[in-house]
Amino acid sequence: MQYIFKLFPFFLLASFVFYSCTDERQNANESDVLSVINCETITHENADNCLHLNQIQVFGTHNSYKLYPHPDLVERLNEYVPGWADNITYEHRPIREQLGELKMRQLEIDIFADPNGGLYSEPAGALLIDDTEFIRHPELMKPGFKVLHVQDTDYRTTCITFKSCLKEVRDWSLENPSHLPIMILVEVKQRRPESRGTLIFSEPVQFDEQLMLEIDEEIWSIFSRDHVITPDDVREGYETLEKAILEKGWPTLGESRGKVFFGLDNTDSSRDIYLSGAPVLEGRALFVSSPPGEPSAAFIKMNDAIGAFDRIQENVAAGYVIRSRSDTP
């Protein structure tokens, strides 16, 4: 079997500063601490104090949890519709390997709501080819967010639940406390694809305000508060999040090392629901992609790196964190 590994998007934090930042924290001596830091020239010694989180560029993966679909299912899907499986025949290394060996510093995780448990325990594709590993898996039977690319067809993952994916990141981070900040994008999935032939797709649970807030609850069940950079940490007394990042800026690299921060990948009604009651994301765990001018603007998803190149440069220079792609929009 031929396995294809794709590195989909990169997470663009800055392009006006180019500096090779590593996962090695510098130990400043007492004279360095007492002296005034000179940031006119960025060096290996002063980078942690002079550069901010939005002034580095890191690479990441999309569908970071994904495994190659079972080859028998690929064959069956392409029998239904020629080329149907073309866009799902790839996989990523386990999350720990992505963070360690591959140095990825942005991950993206898709979640489906399953408040009662068992909704995705019998994927139609798995039943079709008797892929027993993913039929009634114990983790699929429990309540909580499930991690899938496409229900019933692209269901094979390295971490089945949102919590298990987060645990992998947390454990690796605690073992490597000087790492550059890791952004974890969360995409809410609630669409039912059109059924074809005998393959009937499950009807997903629609996300309401309660389910959107349960994303935060699952995050806080895994991460301690001081392990996560939150919108409140960045806003820090400013009236809006946007005003904070434009006037004060993001935390420095030194303040951000060993930490993670979360962003909501959706820009549809899910984003609006998450913002309801918290227009500047007060008390929330996730940043959201908001255009300049909105109170919650700090991180912006701009996937078209070519068509939106000039606007990306402008937004980066202004101080926003930009997530874009390295291949196609």
Q: What is the pLDDT of residues 75-123, one digit of tens each?
A: 999 999 999 999 999 999 999 999 999 999 999 999 999 999 999 999 9
Residue 326: band (very low, low, confident or very high) from pLDDT cuts 50, 70, 90: confident
Residues 6+ apart with CB under 8 A from 218: 144, 145, 162, 163, 166
The strand pairing partners of 5, in sequence order, are: 91
Structure tokens at 241: 């999040």
pLDDT at site 197: 79
Find the farthest-apart pair of alpha carbons in the chain and give their distance in angstroms, rounded.
Answer: 72
* Res 26 pLDDT > 70: no
End-to-end CA distance of the chain: give it in Å, rounded: 29
Question: What percent of the chain shows pLDDT beyond 70?
Answer: 88
Which residue type sits at 123?
P
* Res 20 pLDDT > 70: no
Average pLDDT of span 26-48:
71
Tell me which of 24 and 169 has the higher pLDDT.
169
pLDDT at site 196: 84
The strand pairing partners of 189, in sequence order, are: 112
Asked if CATH classification 3.40.1130 holds for the domain at 9-325, the reply, yes or no, is no
Structure tokens at 50: 């002079």
- pLDDT tens column, 288-320: 999 999 999 999 999 999 999 999 999 999 999
Average pLDDT of span 206-230:
99
- pLDDT tens column, 155-193: 999 999 999 999 999 999 999 999 999 999 999 999 999
* Res 202 pLDDT > 50: yes
Listed residue (212, 205, 326, 320) closest to 266, CA to CA: 212
* Res 265 pLDDT > 80: yes
* Res 43 pLDDT > 70: yes
pLDDT at site 18: 35
Listed residue (309, 318, 325) closest to 291, CA to CA: 318
Rounded to two decimals, the pTM is: 0.90
Average pLDDT of span 129-140:
98
Average pLDDT of span 243-253:
98
Structure tokens at 221: 């069940």
- Tell me the domain boundaries of the chain: 9-325
Structure tokens at 56: 């580095």
pLDDT at site 22: 62
* Res 34 pLDDT > 70: no
